[in-house]
């Protein structure tokens, strides 16, 4: 079954009914005793009844994370190459209709950004662009990637959806991973949030991870932009999507990101704000259902929350992030969203070590990728 068909099998009303179906605290506590939970169990962990025993769910989630990943936190840094975009996503700072300072870095500017971040200590980078392949097309990305591989061990991309053959070209020059967020799995909301541009095509975006996996990427990341729709439905669809990907592309390593909307301007009202307690419930439940998946946390979140989640179920964090092209050297262009946690890499390493965790900068797995 294709992912588009799988998602269509579950309506919002169906999901809410399954989440609230005959749940009580004793039933949820019994779920926590299982070594492996089913999708129905996972939905129970999203219920209001589960919130009453959230500390127990968090503790089990932490135990599962430690068993699978150990006391290790990996670091990465996003590098925005361009904020030029043809889409009109109403929640995004790069919206084509916004009157902002646009910029696409040239190769010399990219090089300076790379040098700055390499000297800071980073070895895992994520290259991002707006969705304008006229300004930041395949050839542009290949040039940036070729340069990045001279500095960094791991180079990932978070750019517009491409075809499998295009992904193969990027893979062949050294790209290690791809991240693509569906933004929201609710089709009606997706259509409303993307009034114009190529990104309006829901199915094309939903099938992008498939094309990346078929191309051969060893790491693929997905997720939803929390706050656009009911977090319970988004969590259920994320779980279905990731489970489908794991079963279909078993050679690929997957990650999940949990960005909550941090709006670029005061004129966007978040439709479904996700409170911290629900945010933690969502991540904890997903950890129990997807124990093998790396969980990423960005600088959208406040320092206090990031500190707490580092010791629970998160395995990878960004640090010192800038969300504008050239942002690590100057502030001459506008950002995609506001950063809540501005702490630099050195400070974040201190936080990780203070919790008794090891801070990993280098993607050591790369060195063993060819061992059978």
Residue 371 has what pLDDT? Answer: 33
Q: What is the DSSP letter of 360?
A: E
Section 68-73 average pLDDT: 96
Please state whether the predicted TM-score (pTM) of the whole model is above 0.85. yes
- Residue pair 58/312 in contact by the 8 Å Cβ criterion: yes
pLDDT band (50, 70, 90) for residue 368: very low
Does residue 22 surpass a pLDDT of 90? no
Q: Of 127-141, 202-216, 286-300, 351-365, which gets the smallest average pLDDT?
A: 351-365
Does residue 338 surpass a pLDDT of 90? no
Does residue 233 surpass a pLDDT of 50? yes
Alpha helix ranges (H) inside 216-296: 231-248, 276-289
> What's the whole-number average pLDDT of the chain?
94
Does residue 267 surpass a pLDDT of 80? no
- Domain layout of the chain by residue ranges: 3-364
Section 91-109 average pLDDT: 93
Residue 362 has what pLDDT? Answer: 75
Query: CB 266: neighbour CB atoms within 10 A?
Result: 6
In angstroms, the CA 368 to CA 86 distance is 40
Section 138-164 average pLDDT: 97
- Residue pair 102/83 in contact by the 8 Å Cβ criterion: yes
Section 262-276 average pLDDT: 82
Does residue 365 surpass a pLDDT of 70? no
Instruction: For 43, list phi and psi in degrees, rounded to 5.
Output: -60, -35
The CATH number of domain 3-364, selected from 1.10.620.20, 1.10.287.3510, 3.20.20.70, 3.20.20.10: 3.20.20.70
Of the two residues 20 and 11, the one the predictor is more confident about is 11
139 burial type by CB count under 10 A (0-12 exposed, 13-18 middle, 19+ buried) = exposed
Does residue 370 surpass a pLDDT of 50? no
Per-residue CA distances from 69 to 64, 226, 269, 350 (Å): 8, 25, 37, 20
CB-side neighbour CA atoms (13 Å) of 222: 27
The pairs formed by 21-27 with CB atoms below 8 angstroms and a separation of 24 or more are: 23/47, 23/49, 23/50, 24/49, 25/49, 25/52, 25/53
Residue 369 has what pLDDT? Answer: 43
Q: What is the DSSP letter of 366?
A: G
Alpha helix ranges (H) inside the chain: 3-8, 12-19, 25-31, 39-44, 48-51, 54-69, 107-120, 138-148, 164-172, 187-193, 202-206, 208-215, 231-248, 276-289, 303-310, 345-354
In angstroms, the CA 368 to CA 372 distance is 9
pLDDT band (50, 70, 90) for residue 113: very high
pLDDT band (50, 70, 90) for residue 247: very high
- Residue pair 32/57 in contact by the 8 Å Cβ criterion: yes
Does residue 182 surpass a pLDDT of 70? yes
């Amino acid at each position: 079954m294709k992912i588009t068909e799988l998602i269509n099998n579950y309506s919002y009303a169906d999901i809410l009914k399954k989440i609230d179906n005959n749940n009580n605290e004793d039933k949820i506590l019994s779920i926590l005793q299982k070594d492996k939970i089913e999708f129905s169990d996972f939905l129970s962990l999203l219920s209001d009844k589960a919130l009453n025993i959230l500390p127990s769910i968090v503790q089990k989630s932490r135990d599962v994370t430690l068993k699978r990943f150990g006391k290790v936190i990996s670091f990465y840094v996003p590098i925005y190459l361009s904020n030029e975009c043809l889409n009109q996503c109403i929640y995004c700072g790069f919206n084509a209709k916004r009157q902002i300072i646009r910029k696409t870095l040239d190769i010399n500017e990219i090089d300076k950004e790379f040098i700055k971040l390499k000297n800071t200590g980073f070895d895992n980078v994520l290259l991002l662009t707006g969705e304008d392949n006229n300004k930041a097309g395949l050839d542009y990305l290949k040039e940036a990637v070729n340069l990045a591989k001279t500095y960094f061990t791991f180079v990932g991309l978070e750019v517009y959806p491409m075809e499998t053959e295009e992904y193969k070209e990027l893979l062949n020059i050294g790209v290690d991973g791809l991240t693509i967020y569906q933004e929201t799995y609710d089709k009606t909301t997706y259509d409303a949030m993307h009034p114009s541009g190529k990104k309006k095509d829901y199915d094309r975006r939903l099938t992008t991870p498939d094309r990346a996996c078929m191309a051969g990427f060893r790491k693929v990341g997905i997720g939803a932009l929390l706050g656009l729709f009911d977090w319970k439905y988004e969590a259920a669809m994320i779980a279905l999507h990731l489970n489908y990907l794991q079963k279909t592309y078993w050679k690929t390593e997957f990650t999940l990101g949990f960005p909550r909307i941090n709006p670029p301007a005061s004129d966007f009202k978040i439709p479904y704000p996700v409170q911290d307690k629900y945010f933690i419930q969502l991540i904890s439940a997903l950890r129990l259902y997807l124990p093998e998946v790396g969980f990423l946390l960005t600088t959208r979140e406040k320092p206090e929350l990031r500190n707490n989640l580092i010791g629970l179920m998160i395995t990878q964090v960004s640090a010192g992030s800038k969300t504008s092209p050239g942002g690590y050297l100057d502030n001459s262009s506008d950002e995609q969203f506001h950063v809540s946690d501005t702490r630099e890499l050195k400070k974040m390493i201190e936080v990780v070590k203070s919790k008794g965790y090891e801070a990993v900068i280098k993607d050591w797995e790369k060195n063993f990728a060819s061992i059978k």
